[in-house]
Amino acid sequence: MWSHEESITTTATPARIWQLFADVPGWKNWNAGIDYIEIHGPFAAGTTFAMQPPGQDGFVSTLTQVTALSGFTDETVIDGTTVVVDHRITPLSDTLTRITYSTTISGPQADEFGPMVTGDFADVLAALKALAERG
């Protein structure tokens, strides 16, 4: 098993972060690791989305938990390895919000996938923060 957690604090409201999370096609605006993305239904548990990182094969993920203004979890299974990413929104005060990405990877390629999946999380969170704070 492989796990990693990364977070950032922002002045953006939980509602603003949620707006960006729920706009799946818009993820490309703050995640440079997405070349192509398409959601296959509403932003709700059970819905799948297809994503392709630049220069890599695409994959399909499933939203396993979606809670408005709190966050969502997605799961991807590739060749017997399961990648679960939990995206959380935590209000810290009236003016501060923490965004946290927690990842757990299990299966035969967990150690290989881990750094590949989470290596850009600091950049992704920084870009999400910048976009959210612009309003």
Q: What is the DSSP string of 88-115?
A: EEEE-SSS-EEEEEEEEEESTTHHHHHH
Q: Is 64 exposed, middle or buried, given 0-12, 13-18 or 19+ CB atoms closer than 10 A?
A: middle
**Residue numbers of the domain that contains 17:** 2-134
Q: What is the SS3 assignment for 107?
A: coil
- State the CATH number of the domain containing residue 76: 3.30.530.20
Distances (CA, A) of 14 to 74, 83, 97: 19, 25, 7
The pLDDT mean for the chain works out to 97
pLDDT score, position 34: 95
Please tell me the total count of domains within the chain: 1
In this predicted structure, the answer to whether residue 49 has a pLDDT above a threshold of 90 is yes
Q: How confident is the model at residue 135 (pLDDT cuts 50, 70, 90)?
A: confident
Q: How confident is the model at residue 97 (pLDDT cuts 50, 70, 90)?
A: very high
In this predicted structure, the answer to whether residue 72 has a pLDDT above a threshold of 90 is yes
In this predicted structure, the answer to whether residue 93 has a pLDDT above a threshold of 90 is yes
